[in-house]
Amino acid sequence: MKPTKTLHDLGQSIWLDNITRELLNSGTLQRYINELSVTGLTSNPTIFDQAIRNSSTYDEDISRKASSAKSGEDLFFDLAFADLTRAADLFRPIFDRTDGTDGWVSLEVSPLLAHDTNKTLAATQDLHRRGGKPNLFIKIPGTPEGLPAIEAAIFAGVPVNVTLLFSREQYIAAAEAYLRGVERRIEAGLNPAVASVASLFISRWDVAISGKVPGELTNRLGIAIGQRTYKAYRELLNSARFQRAANAGARTQRLLWASTGTKDPKASDILYVKAFASPFTINTMPEGTLKAFADHGEVGDMLAPDGGDCEKVLDSFTKAGIDVDALASRLQDEGAASFAKSWKSLMSCIDSKSTAISKAG
């Protein structure tokens, strides 16, 4: 049995953190579904920037749609929907079989809106309407300004993937925003079964402190943060508040492990997959990490519901001079800025291709 199948059978969903037209056209995504137990897909502005910049397969669509698009952003979403609706159709049998628990694809609102609540909400509702697929998550950042938009989107019945979460506290804030939206639906007599996932970013922690801590702490901070957050997740599932909502028909906002590709060339290329094996969670993996785990992965102990030794490890980082709370805020700000930079690059790429194709025509 492939390691990916073993992990799936233990109760963790494996999603691919990538989307390109070549993945779709070549049948590779379908093969990953059939052979590597992939049951969903995530995307972000950086992924789309690289996909469109490094391929000519989008040029025909750009040529055909450029004249009618209202803006470069509008044209981008046309291109993204063309890919994501195809991917959503591939995952639809999984979505139907699991009654909407699995089989999702994700599209992010413009990261330029990360600190604007009202515009984020408006964009979320517009993208949900344009996507027209029941298994399409709209990604909203879990920034302070994003939290009210998450609550309002859930109340409006829009499935949300909360992105750019880096700590237990940021996760809890996002989970509470989700629950508030659900509770408002219950109070209003609406169906509370609106799906959501909360995406905790892992590897960026270890990149941020590389070379700044004793050797024995290398590549341990991201895992400790994940353990601490997993404990909070399990406690929330056991809470009276969530169970009241679940009794009224609410779904669980599953915890998703994001940024799980190993950045340290000296570390195992499956470090964060092995560390975060845990039931009723999702691991969205870069393509290289997925293939590495399928090739030589191993599944050890499941993540401890009580967080294991995370607090002891985090105390060691505090003693080494790492302010975890301050770093979490910085990582979220930097993550938002990084996606905004990729977004601007993406818009520039689309504009350049549109101009070049127009001149060639």
Q: Summarize pLDDT for 175-193 with one digit per residue, the tens.
A: 999 999 999 999 999 999 9
CA dihedral for 13, 16, 21, 25, sign (positive or negative) = negative
Q: How far apart are CA 205 and CA 222, in angstroms?
A: 5
Query: By the 8 A CB rule, do 27 and 92 touch?
Result: no
Q: Cα–Cα–Cα angle for 303, 140, 19, nearest 5°?
A: 75
Q: Which residues are catalytic?
A: 139
Task: Tell me what pLDDT residue 359 has.
Answer: 72
Compute the distance between CA of residue 154 and CA of residue 124 in angstroms, rounded to an integer: 10
Return the bridge partners of 163, or none.
Answer: 141
Domains parsed from the chain with CATH numbers: 3-360 (3.20.20.70)
Residue 317: the pLDDT is: 97
- Three-class secondary structure of residue 197 per DSSP: strand
Residues in the chain with pLDDT values less than 70? 358, 360-361
Question: Which pLDDT value is given to residue 358?
Answer: 67
- What local confidence, expressed as pLDDT, does residue 8 receive? 98
Q: Please tell me the pTM assigned to this model.
A: 0.96
